[in-house]
Structure 1
Amino acid sequence: MNDIVYNLAFDFGASSGRLMLSKFDGEKIDVEEVYRFPNEPVKIGQTLYWDFLRLFHELKNGLKLISKRKIKISSIGIDTWGVDYGLLDKNDQLISNPIHYRDQRTNGIIKDVEKILPLEKIYNVTGIQFMEFNTIFQLYCDLTRRPELLNNARTLLFMPDLFNFYLTHEKYNEYTVASTSQMLDAEKKDWAIDLIKKLNLPEGIFQKILMPGKIIGYLSKEIQEETGLSDIPVISVGSHDTASAVAGTPIENGSSAYLICGTWSLLGVESESPIINENTKKYNFTNEGGVEGFIRLLKNINGLWIIQQLKQSWNSSGIKIGFPEISQMASKAKHEEFIINPDDKLFMAPLNMVEAIKQYCLQTGQGLPEEIGDIARAAYNGIVEQYRNCVNNLEEIIGKDIDTIHMVGGGIQDKFLCKLTADTTGKTVVTGPIEASVYGNSIVQLIGLGFIKDLKEGRKIIKISIEQERYSIFN
C-alpha cells in the first residue's frame, strides 16, 4: 500500500465537537484535529436541549475546511454519546430540538414505567443498566407529557443517525447506539417490539438496525455543493462514542478490562454474548453493543464530570485554577481520607460542585473539607473506589481475574488519577490512546472500506501508532 488513506471522524463530546483527520499509510494511523467547536446544551425555560442546528452548521464548516486541502477523503464516520434522539415528521422535518440527557424531565420516571412493565422483564430482554435518562424513559416521558410530538413522529433517529441522515438522506438506527436505548433485544440485536408495544410507544418510528462497518449512504448533492466535496461514503462506525473508544483500545487478552476515562467513566470487558444474570442485575451492569457484534459488559460511573465541575465552580468564584493544578493539589492533600460516592444523585447536576462535596462529606459524618486539595481528593478517592468495586464485581460476574486495566481517553493525561487507579484496584494500568474514540471510529471506517481485515488487526495498528505508559502498585 503506497497511498495514504484519509478518513474523517466527527466526535461529539460533552463540551465540544471535533473533526479529526485520520491518515493511514498501511502500517500506522496518525490523527490530526482539523476543527473544534463548542457542544454545549441550551437551556430554554426548564428544558435542556441539544443545539443541533448549530452543531450541524459546524459540521459543514469542518467539511468546508477539508475541501480546501484538496486531498481525497475515503469516508466519514460520526460518533456521539448514546440515549438521545431526534424525531422527524412525515416530511422528514425535525419536530423539535433533541433534548439533552442531563435534562431533569425524567426524574422519577422509572417508577411510572415499572407500574406498566416489570423492570426485571426489561432487564432480562435488554441487559441494560437502569438509568433515568435511557431512551426508553425519555420516550415514555414524551408519551405522557408531550404526546403531540410522538403523535406527529414518523421516524426516531439517535443523534449520530440524525447527523448521518442530514448528510445522506438515508435513515437507519446504528446498532451500538441503539443498544443504549434499553429497547433492543440483547440476544437478537434487534428491537424488543414486545416491550415497545406494552409501553404503548409507536413501534413504526424505529428504523432498521445497521451494524458498524457498513456504508450508510453518500454525501447528498446539497452537501456536496455547499462544502465542495464529492459523493464521499458515510460509514456506520461504532456511533456510540464508547463503542468507538472500546474499538480503539488496544486490548491485549481476555484478562483485560477497559476503562474509558472522560466525563463519564466506562469500565468493563468485551464478551462474545450478553451476560444477563442475578449478579449483573444486582450490580447494575449493562450489555451494550460493540463493534463486530461484541457485547460491551460495563458499568457507567460518574467520573471526571465531577472534576470538571469543581474547576468550573472554583473558576466562577474567582479562583483561577486548571486541571493540572487540581490534580497536583489532590495528590498533596492534607487529609487523604475524604471520599464521596460519585453516583450519588447529589453529584448529577449540582449548581455548585464544591458545595455539593462539602454537603456530602458533612452528611456522611466525615467532617468538612475546606482546602482545594482536600475537596479534590474526596472526588478522586470516590472515583477510584468505584473503579475498584466495579473490577471486583466484574471478576465475580465473568468468573476469572482481571490482571490489566487498559485506560484510555482524556483522563489518562492525569497521571495522579492513573497511579491512584493502579494503587486502589491493585491492577496494572496501561494507558493510551487519549483519542480512543477517534482511533476506533477510524479503524471501523477502514474495515468497512476493506483496508483493514478486522478489529484485531486494527488494534494492532493502533498499538504501534501510539505511546503507552504502565502503572502498577510496585512503581
Structure 2
Amino acid sequence: MSRTINLLACDLGASNGRAQLARFDGNKLKLDVIHNFTNGGARLNGNFYWDILALFAEIKQGIKKAVKVTDGDIHSMGLDTWGVDYGLLDENGKLMSLPYHYRDSRTDGIPAEVFKEIGKKEIYQETGIQFMQINTLFQLYAELKERPWILNNAATLLFMPDLLNYLLTGKKYNEHTIASTSQLFNPLKNTWSETIFKSLGIPVDIMQEVIYPGNKIGGLLPEVKEECGLNNDLAVMAVGSHDTASAVAATPLEDENGVYLSSGTWSLLGMELTEPVINENSLTENFTNELGVENRVRFLKNITGLWLIQECKRIWQREGRDLSYSEISRAAAQATPFKYRLDPDDPVFMKPENMPEVIKEYCRKTKQAVPETIGEMARGVYESLAFSYDKVIKRLEKLVDRKIKNIHMVGGGIQAELLCQYTADISKRRVLAGPVEATATGNVLAQLIGLGEIKDLKEGRELVRNSIELKEYLPV
C-alpha cells in the first residue's frame, strides 16, 4: 500500500471529548488530536443532563478541522461515547427531551422498585450485565414512573453515540456494543430481552435495528456537509461505540490469560472471552458481560476510576489551587504511603458536592488517618485504586479458572505513571501500558476493518504494536 488514508475518530468521554485524525500508510497508524473540548453535563431545575447540542456542535467543529487539515480527503469517521445514557425521539424524529446524565438522582431507589417487578437473578440470566444504578434499565423505569407521557409517546430510543450519529446522518440504529451496556439486551440470543421489557411495561418497539462495528451507518446530511465545508462524501461508520469496547479492541493483549484495564473516569478491568459467563458466581461477584468488536465478550468489572482525582482537582481549582494532573501526581509521589485506604465504589463517591471533604469524612468514619495535603489525598486514591484492581483480578481468576500474570493498562489514566507502578506493586503482576489513546485507536481499527484495509482485530492489534511503544512496569 503506497497511499496514506485519513480517518476521523470522535471520542467523547464523561469529562472531555476530542476529535483525532488518524493516518494509515499500510504499516503504521498515527493519530493526532485536532480538536479538544470539555464535557461534564449541565444542571437544570434540579436535574442533570447532557448538553447534546453543544456536543453535536463540537463534533462538527472536529469535522471542520479535519477537512481543513486534509483538504477534505477523509475516508470515513466513527464516533464513540460512554455507555447507558440515551435520547428519545417522537414519531417525527424530533428529540423529546435533553438526555439525562447517568449521575442524575432520578434513579435513586429505583433498583429496589424494579426488583419487585422482575427478580435480580432473572435480569442477570437474561443480560449478564453488572447491576449499577446508572444502567439504562433503571433509567427507563425511572422515566416510566416520573414522566410516563414521554416514554409512552416515544417512537425511538437512541443511545448517546447512536443519537449523535443520527444528528449527523439521519439514520437510526442501535450499535451492538452500546446496546449491551443497557441491561436490556440478551447476549445469548443476541437480541432485546422481551422478558425484561414486558415485565417492566417498557415498550420494546422503541429499540432500533442493531448495527455492528465495521458497518456503514450512512453519509453526512447535506446541511452537515455544507456547515463543515465538505464537498466529498464522508462515510460515518459504526465502531465499538461504547468507548470501552473501542479501548479493548486496541489493547494489544499478549495471550488469553492477560487482563485489560481501561483507565479513565471509570476503570474497566476484565478479560476478553468468546462466550458470556452467566452463572451464580458471576452474579454474586457482580461481573458484567459487555459485547465487543467482532462479537467478543468483555467479561469485566466496572470500578470507579480517576473520577475521584478529577473531582478533587475540580474543587482544588475552585479554591484557587489550579494544579495539573502531573503536579498532583508529583505531590502524591512525595507523600506518606498507605496513610488511608478507601473503597472507590462506595456510593458516597458517586456524586459528591465536594470530593476532598467527602474523602476526609470517609476516613473519619472508618477511623483512619485523615489526609491533610493534596499529595496525601491523591496518593491514597491511587493506592486505593490499585488495591481495588488487585481484589477484582483475584475474583476474576476464580470465575474463569485461569492464572493471570499480566495486566495491560490503556487509556488516559496510564499517564498517571504512579498509578501504573502502584498497580504492579500491589498486585505483584507485570503491567504493560499503552496506548494512551486506546479508545480512538480502537475506533479507527473498526473503521479500517469495515473499509477492508485490515483483515480483522488480530491484524489490528499487530498494527497497534507496530505503531506505539509500550511501557513496562514491574512490581517492586
Alignment of 1:311-326 (within 5 A): 311-326=313-328
When residues 71 and 220 of structure 1 are mapped into structure 2, their CA distance, relative to the original with a 3 A threshold, is closer
Cα offset for 1:5?
1.1
Distance 2:227 2:376 in 1: 52
Q: Which residue of 2 aligns with 1:422?
A: 424
Q: Which residue matches 1:6?
A: 6
Residue matched to 2:233: 231
Alignment partner, residue 63 of structure 1 = 63
Segments of 5+ residues of structure 1 without an aligned counterpart are none
What is the alpha-carbon distance in structure 2 between the residues aligned to residue 369 and residue 441 of structure 1? 40
3-state SS of the aligned residue for 1:68?
helix
Partner Cα distance (2:310, 2:67) in 1 = 35
Match of 1:160 in 2: 161
Query: Could you say what secondary structure the match of 2:59 adopts?
Result: helix
Offset of 1:309 from its aligned partner? 1.2
- What does residue range 7-406 of structure 1 map to in structure 2 within 5 Å? 7-69=7-69, 70-229=71-230, 230-334=232-336, 336-406=338-408
State the distance in 2 between where 1:436 and 1:335 align: 30
Give 1:337 shift: 3.3
- 2:271 is paired with a residue whose SS is strand
Aligned equivalents of 1:57, 1:326: Cα separation in 2: 32
SS in 1 for 2:75: strand
Is residue 123–residue 281 contact of structure 1 (8 Å, CA) maintained in 2?
A: yes
d(CA) in 2 for partners of 1:11, 1:296: 19
Instruction: For 2:247 and 2:60, locate their aligned partners in 1 and report how far apart those are by CA, in whole Å.
Output: 24
What secondary structure does 1:355 align onto? helix
Matched letter for residue 112 of structure 2:
K
Counterparts of 1:376 and 1:225, CA distance in 2: 47
Please point out which of 451, 454, 457 is paired with 2:456.
454
**Secondary structure in 1 aligned to 2:117?**
coil
* 1:326 partner amino acid: I
TM-score, structure 2 length as denominator?
0.98
For 1:436, the equivalent position in structure 2 comes to 438
Q: What amino acid is aligned across from residue 23 of structure 1 in structure 2?
A: R
Q: 2:8 touches 2:66 (CA, 8 Å); kept in 1?
A: no
Q: CA deviation at 1:307?
A: 0.9
Does the aligned pair in 1 maintain the 2:339–2:369 contact within 8 Å? no
Distance 1:94 1:110 in 2: 26
Identity of aligned residues (%): 50
Residue type of the partner of 2:201? Answer: N
Aligned counterparts of 1:390 and 1:432: Cα–Cα separation in 2: 21
Q: Is the 8 A contact 2:382 2:418 kept in 1?
A: no
SS in 2 for 1:131: coil
For residue 412 of structure 2, the aligned residue among 406, 410, 413 is: 410
Q: Residue 72 of structure 1: CA displacement? A: 1.6
